[in-house]
């Protein structure tokens, strides 16, 4: 097995790993700070409530005045606590009738990126009907286009498949035997495949790369069955992950490969958050960053299977300044050509770009290249 990274790629990956560690430490620090503040506020309410009870027994004459005063103080503390929680909770991106606005929310959003007055509302300069471009360092949405409407994620689904699989796999060198059910499913649903054959014994690590680089449904299904015993059980883990990320109200998946089903959907923002979560995992980062890979030798493939991420290799030809580092494409008739990518500059500053419903594969590539050049360079 070989991954091909030049020195520039390795340096950028190192920058991204360092950024991940900084973000992890910042989140831990922020969580401890918020828990401390919340604890102090709660203690304050308890003290005020206890004082109110004491005042109630202090005497009829003082009760009429001081008891009411105590209640006022208690209610005031509760109001301040509620306002504090609301203020410290991140704003939620909301878009209705194609108009984007900021809607304050108390629901935890682990991966949150805020709209600002500088966020660019894209129009015809981007051919895709849906798009979002994030600055991961600033935590802001640099540009968007119908970013919170429901879309069909197609094979971008496999980013979540990769993340969930990695989080439940203990030994990447373990093996799995491709079944007749897997090859039949791919044939019947006209899925893109890595090229595994029935009864082929493959490594789990190989299937991770085969899921992403050639968008292999055979590899994705192999991971699902290996982890959970069936695709249906694995999908439950996928939806549990969506809930953990705070995305379950707008995203729901019914399969691990990205074929079209009515109840399989998400938004641009959701997919960007899924990719962001995957980038926090070192194994996922390595897989999503790989341009080429050769699988292990097997009886069916004595030389291994050469895999390639054509999207990243082609987008780099568009002179994006070398920003595009990795990503995942998708296509079904209902979604048009779509892709989720991330790019990192020489300083390690990272961006995420997601688009859907481009008229062609090259149109999708052009949209990503345009946004990297306009908003990142």
By annotation, the residues acting in catalysis are 155, 158, 215
Rounded to 5°, angle at Cα 263 from 352 and 365: 30
Q: What DSSP line would sit under 276-329, residue for residue?
A: HHHHTSHHHHHHHH-SEEEPPP-SS-TT--EEE-HHHHHHGGG--TT-EEEEEE
Which contacts qualify for 73-80: CB closer than 8 Å, 24 or more apart?
73/48, 74/45, 74/48, 74/49, 77/41, 77/44, 77/45, 77/48, 78/45, 80/41
125 in Cβ contact with 369 (< 8 Å): no
Q: How far is CA 42 from the centre of its chain?
A: 33
Query: What span, in angstroms and rounded, lies between the C-alpha atoms of 212 and 284?
Result: 10
Q: How far apart are CA 310 and CA 329, in angstroms?
A: 9
């Amino acid at each position: 097995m070989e991954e091909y990274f030049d020195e520039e790629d390795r340096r950028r990956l190192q920058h991204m790993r360092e950024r991940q560690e900084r973000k992890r430490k910042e989140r831990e620090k922020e969580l401890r700070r918020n828990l401390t503040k919340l604890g102090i506020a709660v203690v304050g309410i308890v003290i005020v409530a206890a004082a109110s009870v004491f005042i109630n027994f202090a005497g009829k004459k003082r009760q009429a005045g001081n008891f009411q005063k105590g209640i006022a103080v208690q209610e005031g503390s509760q109001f301040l606590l509620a306002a504090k929680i609301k203020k410290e909770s991140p704003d939620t991106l909301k878009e209705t009738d194609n108009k984007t606005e900021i809607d304050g929310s108390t629901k935890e959003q682990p991966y949150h990126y805020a709209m600002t007055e500088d966020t660019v509302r894209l129009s015809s300069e981007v051919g895709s009907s849906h798009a979002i471009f994030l600055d991961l360092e600033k935590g802001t949405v640099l540009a968007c286009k119908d970013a919170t409407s429901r879309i069909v994620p197609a094979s971008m689904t496999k980013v979540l498949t990769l993340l969930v699989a990695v989080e439940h796999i203990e030994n990447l060198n373990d093996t799995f035997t491709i079944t007749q059910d897997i090859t039949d499913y791919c044939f019947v649903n006209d899925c893109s495949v890595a090229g595994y054959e029935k009864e082929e014994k493959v490594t789990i690590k190989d299937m991770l790369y085969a899921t992403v680089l050639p968008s292999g449904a055979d590899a994705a299904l192999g991971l699902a069955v290996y982890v959970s015993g069936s695709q249906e059980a694995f999908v439950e883990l996928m939806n549990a992950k969506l809930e953990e990320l705070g995305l379950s109200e707008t995203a729901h998946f019914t399969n691990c490969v990205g074929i079209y089903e009515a109840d399989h959907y998400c938004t641009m923002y959701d997919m960007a958050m899924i990719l962001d979560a995957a980038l926090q995992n070192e194994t996922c980062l390595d897989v999503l960053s790989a341009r080429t890979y050769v699988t292990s030798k097997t009886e069916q493939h004595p030389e291994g299977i050469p895999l390639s991420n054509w999207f990243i290799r082609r987008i780099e030809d568009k002179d994006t300044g070398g920003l595009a580092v990795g990503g995942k494409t998708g296509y079904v008739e209902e979604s048009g050509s779509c892709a989720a990518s991330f790019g990192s500059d020489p300083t390690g500053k990272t961006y995420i770009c997601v688009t859907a419903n481009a008229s062609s594969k090259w149109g999708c590539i052009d949209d990503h290249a345009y946004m990297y050049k306009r908003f990142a360079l």
